[in-house]
Amino acid sequence: MLGSVGPDLLDLEEVARFRNGAVEVAAGADGREPRLHWDVLGLWQDALAGLARAGRAAGTDGVRSVGVDTWAVDYALLDADGGLIANPRSYRDARTDGVAEQVHRRLPAEELYARNGLQHLPFTTIYQLVVEAAGPLLERADQLLLLPDLLGFWLSGRRVAESTNASTTGLADVRTGRWAPDLVRLTGVPPALLPEVVDAGTALGPLLPSVAEPARLGATELVAVGSHDTASAVVAVPAEHERFAYVACGTWALVGVELEEPVLSPESLAAGFTNERGVDGRVRYLHNVMGLWVLQGCLEEWRLEGDVRGTGGGTGGGTGGGTGGEVDLGRLLAAAGELPAGGPVVDVDDAAFLPPGPMVGRVQRACEAAGQPVPVERAAVVRCVLDSLAQAFARVVEDAVRLSGRDVDVVHVVGGGARNALLCRLTADACGRPVLAGPVEATALGNVLVQARATGAVAGALEDLRALVRRTHRLERYEPRPR
């Protein structure tokens, strides 16, 4: 994404887009322990090609700065020469099954929550590292970098840990945002493996000539942004006042409010709320809802069956960027929208939905187990997933209000989900509050806004950055309908 930013300008040009998905390969002596890896070299190669296109699109203006964000929690290990030891594992890998429970036997969940402020997610880095420490790679490891920081290292030669993403690892102190060495030690990984933590907005120096020159970027520097994608998305929530909730909805849906201080009460732990660090030290008080992943899984299954064409993996409700033609996710969503309210809903938070693979059967089994009608037609499955998501969003918003004491007048839906009109309508109805949908590219906008502020193209607090998003982007409003 090539951004152009000034006091009255906030524009994104999509110069490249590429696929990303975890890759399963056989492992174990008999090949029966499949592993899920990220193809991080493939991503790097695609990112470099994207940078070259950005350089061409920017022309003689050049590209002032670059910022990297990705999903949270995953990491790579580097050896003493700074070389990548292995393809990073995906957090959806089954290796962390049951590990959190083991850790909590040594450090009770309540005590851990008081230190790192995180909800219980089985794949948080702290649990992944317990498994890593028992494996063969750690003894060769000299450094651990989170994924955006790994790409940042390859871009600039600088090794740091950006604090919004560090806050998702479970290894950082919720109050300071810095590493908590005792929590790192608990995993069996030496704290010395972790690089210095820096905050979003830190200029990290010029790109390596080997990167900048072929891409013809000009004098470009790397800026640490909210490198956790959700942190960047929350920067660009076009809120007008503090009484807002957000649903940052892509593969995951991150639902919550923004606070100045963490909430660490036992009720908050029980409700599964996390206190992740936001840009400018704000607290992203939120809960992970499974998100469009479940719908993506259904669509992929139908695509493999050969009948849904052209979805391009998009679940936002557009026709997608795929192979041309007759998707028709649009038609499927229209049919789902025609179905009456009050159909089956499932608990989308159930761990059964976490791994990749066929999803329709999982949705149907969850309905059956809950004693609900089982959706058979595709439109009914889609409607069930979207109703389930909307109801989960509403439950989380209510919990966030109750647990944080923050009133909420409006729910902002940002990310790909903002394009899905049916989901937004159902969310407004379920929340009993208006939904303001957009921007779709909130994460990229939050990323470039933080760069622009660091390089002096704009100034101000998050509220000023959000006002700029409001001035430059059209939002869709959905009023809740009476029940």
Q: Which is nearer to ligand LRH, 292 or 308 (CB)?
A: 292
Q: Which is nearer to ligand LRH, 450 or 458 (CB)?
A: 450
Whether residue 396 contacts residue 359, with contact meaning beta carbons closer than 8 Å, is answered with no
As measured in angstroms, the least distance from the Cβ of 168 to ligand LRH is 6
The whole-angstrom separation of Cα 198 and Cα 223 is 11
Q: Which is nearer to ligand LRH, 187 or 230 (CB)?
A: 230
Options 91, 244, 285, 353; binder of ligand LRH; rule CB under 6 A? 91
- Restricted to residues 273-292, the positions that interact with ligand LRH (CB under 6 A) are 288
Q: Which stretch in 65-73, 80-88, 343-351, 446-454 sits in contact with ligand LRH by CB under 6 A?
A: 65-73
Please, what's the b/e burial string for 334-370 (b: 16 or more CB within 10 A of its CB; e: otherwise)? Answer: ebbbebeeebbbbebbeebbbbbeebbebbbebbeee
Options 75, 179, 246, 252; binder of ligand LRH; rule CB under 6 A? 252
Cβ neighbours of residue 209 closer than 8 Å, sequence gap 6 or more: none
As measured in angstroms, the least distance from the Cβ of 93 to ligand LRH is 12
75 binds ligand LRH (CB under 6 A): no
Provide the annotated active-site residues.
Answer: 229
Q: Respond yes or no on whether the N-terminal peptide bond of residue 347 is cis (omega within 30° of 0).
A: no
As measured in angstroms, the least distance from the Cβ of 229 to ligand LRH is 5
Phi, psi of 245 (to 5 degrees): -110, 160
Q: Which is nearer to ligand LRH, 131 or 339 (CB)?
A: 131
Whether residue 262 contacts residue 283, with contact meaning beta carbons closer than 8 Å, is answered with yes
Q: Which is nearer to ligand LRH, 91 or 244 (CB)?
A: 91
Options 22, 40, 47, 72; binder of ligand LRH; rule CB under 6 A? 72
Which residue is it, tokens 């997608």? Answer: 320
Q: Give me 398's structure tokens.
A: 């209510």
229 binds ligand LRH (CB under 6 A): yes
As measured in angstroms, the least distance from the Cβ of 92 to ligand LRH is 9
Q: Which stretch in 215-223, 226-234, 380-388, 462-470 sits in contact with ligand LRH by CB under 6 A?
A: 226-234
The CA–CA distances, whole Å, from 191 to 96, 194, 229, 258 equal 20, 6, 25, 30
Host H or E run for residue 187: helix 181-187
Q: Which stretch in 67-75, 344-352, 356-364, 391-399 sits in contact with ligand LRH by CB under 6 A?
A: 67-75
Tell which residue, 384, 376, 398, has the closest CA to residue 341.
384
Angle formed at CA 70 by CA 419 and CA 173, multiple of 5 degrees: 115
293 binds ligand LRH (CB under 6 A): no
- Could you tell me the sign of the dihedral formed by the alpha carbons of 269, 272, 275, 276, in that order? positive
Options 36, 254, 336, 423; binder of ligand LRH; rule CB under 6 A? 254
The CA–CA distances, whole Å, from 265 to 41, 105, 270, 337, 344 equal 42, 20, 9, 39, 33
Options 2, 22, 66, 73; binder of ligand LRH; rule CB under 6 A? 73
As measured in angstroms, the least distance from the Cβ of 73 to ligand LRH is 5
Q: Which stretch in 69-77, 175-183, 216-224, 257-265 sits in contact with ligand LRH by CB under 6 A?
A: 69-77
The whole-angstrom separation of Cα 32 and Cα 13 is 44
- Per CB under 6 A, residues contacting ligand LRH are 71-73, 91, 228-230, 251-252, 254, 288
